[in-house]
Structure 1
Amino acid sequence: MDTNIGRFSAAPDIGDTEAAAERPAEELKPPELVYGSAEEFLHEQLLPTYVRDVDGRAAKWCLEWYFHPEALSRVEALWRAWEHLRLDGATGISVWWKDHADHHMNVLLDPRGPFYKCDMQKHRDPEHLEPKRAPEGWFPDARMLPN
């Protein structure tokens, strides 16, 4: 078993803020990512640590989860938050579990969540809402409004 699963890194020691501000830009580059993609994060970190009984009744998952736009966005958000919070050696892991993993995984696994039409053997495309557009002028383009 991989003993690194579920572990967060200690924050890198970059010294005090004033000393860091004096360093050349190349030394202040952001930390390297642990995982190169949301999919790698899902398979190597999230699913090995977030273990649930997915029976199709109390919890659902789709084996082709990447065809579900909401799931794709939520897994991407989980990965990005993990990459950021792993650097906080004090409370990062707790914050990630409480504010990110528990929240998004509860939504993803909910039987009425994004995988509601799928079962463990077959993916079924989700039905998208098709709302009407509001009348012209109800929602002005904020990019065109004066500051």
Structure 2
Amino acid sequence: MTIDIGRFGEAPGPDVEAPGDNPGQEQKPPELVYGSAEEFLHEQLLPTYVRDVDGRAAKWCLEWYFHPEAVSRVEALWRSWEHLRLDGATGISVWFRDHADHHMGVLLDPRGPFYKCDMQKHRDPEHLEPKKAPAGWFPDVRTIPA
């Protein structure tokens, strides 16, 4: 039996030169498999990272894109996947261990970014509203001479 792991195992196309093929020439970056974090989520992540999302042990919001943390984490998962897919030896393992398991654990956590939502209804998350620190406590390092 063969298990489909999506498009992770695809090698770079013929347009990608191996390092050292043409010294002194600028190398073309590998072509992306997915054009956006949303495409990656629908085509790769959710079909391969299957969990029982019952609202008690795991939560998801069908309108995940209204949650800034979720968008940021899905974007991070997509970008790391695009990079690590090129490592045919351990890339998939590293991606699952260091990226998918970590971020999906946070996203699916009942106390995570979807804590107010249920499978039928999105509810806007409550944003933290911290006070500004007293002036001078956090100077803008961009204005400090090197």
Aligned pair in 2 of structure 1 residues 133, 5: CA closer, same or farther (>3 Å)?
same
Structure 1 moving runs of 4+ over 4 Å: none
Q: Give CA-to-partner distance per residue, 1:52-97, whole Å, 9 cap, x none.
A: 0000000000000000000000000000000000001111111000
Residues 17 and 28, structure 2, Cα contact 8 Å, conserved in 1: no
- Summarize the Cα distance change of 1:57–1:15 in structure 2 as closer, same or farther, 3 Å threshold: closer
Give the match for residue 35 of structure 1: 34
Structure number with higher helix proportion: 1
TM-score for the superposition, normalised by structure 1: 0.90
Whose RCO is larger (CA < 8 A, sep 6+)? 1
CA contact (8 A) 1:60 1:111 kept: yes
CA distance in 1, matches of 2:87, 2:117: 37
Q: TM-score, normalised by structure 2?
A: 0.90
Q: Which structure 2 residue ranges, 5 or more long, are not aligned?
A: none
Distance 1:57 1:14 in 2: 48
Matching of residues 58-97 of structure 1 within 5 Å: 58-97=57-96
Unaligned runs of 5+ in 1: none
Note the alpha carbon deviations across 1:105-129, whole angstroms, 9 max, x for none.
Answer: 0000000000000000000000000
Given that 1:11 and 1:89 are in contact with CA atoms closer than 8 Å, whether structure 2 keeps it comes out as: no
Question: d(CA) in 2 for partners of 1:16 and 1:61?
Answer: 41
